[in-house]
Amino acid sequence: MSLLQSEAHGPGFKVYQLTETHDSHTLCFQFTVMESSVFAWVGTPGSGVDEGITTATGRLDGLAVAMPTRFDKTATSTSLLPTFADDVSERIARRLATKLGIQVFISFNVPTTNEELALIAERRLAVLINETLAKAVSNQPEDEPIPVR
């Protein structure tokens, strides 16, 4: 299984998508890497029925942003589209922005009632973004898929 990259949507924009199954739970990842920021959506698929075929759908329920600051080691974060799970989106955005040193937008739509699944999703997102940014810095060919472990 590999991370799928879609066509560039403008100069400096690359969109990546991945769907994985962990213990009978499906996680969907989509993130856009820009020149100095990342926009990431993580969620679980809803089910829609179209002529007997189950299709995955997602929701963008909340959005948080975090960015590094020269005044503190920890990135500053805030909620842009508030929901009940804002603290989770903000926490993840703050951790990633601090670690990566870039602005990070996060929409985390994994049920927080399943703490283990939420933790898996957070860790997996960090790995995917780190590998993608490392690949971009090392100038690996764009058509070479990023292996998913």
27 near 124, Cβ under 8 Å? Answer: yes
The mean of the pLDDT values for the chain is 80
Span 82-117, pLDDT tens digits: 876 568 899 999 999 999 999 999 999 888 788 888
Ordered structural domains, the chain, with CATH: 2-138 (3.30.230.90)
Mean pLDDT over 21-45 rounds to 90
Mean pLDDT over 29-33 rounds to 92
Quick check: 62 pLDDT over 90?
A: no
Instruction: Please give the C-alpha separations between residue 113 and each of 4, 51, 66, 84, 110, in angstroms, as whole numbers.
Output: 29, 32, 24, 12, 9
Query: What is the per-residue pLDDT for 57?
Result: 59
Verdict on whether the full-model pTM lies above 0.75 = yes
Query: What is the per-residue pLDDT for 69?
Result: 93
Query: Of the ranges 53-62, 105-114, 118-127, which one carries the lowest mean pLDDT score?
Result: 53-62
Query: What is the per-residue pLDDT for 106?
Result: 95
Span 11-29, pLDDT tens digits: 678 899 999 998 888 999 9
In angstroms, the CA 109 to CA 22 distance is: 16
Identify the band that residue 58 occupies on the pLDDT scale cut at 50, 70 and 90: low
148 near 20, Cβ under 8 Å? Answer: yes
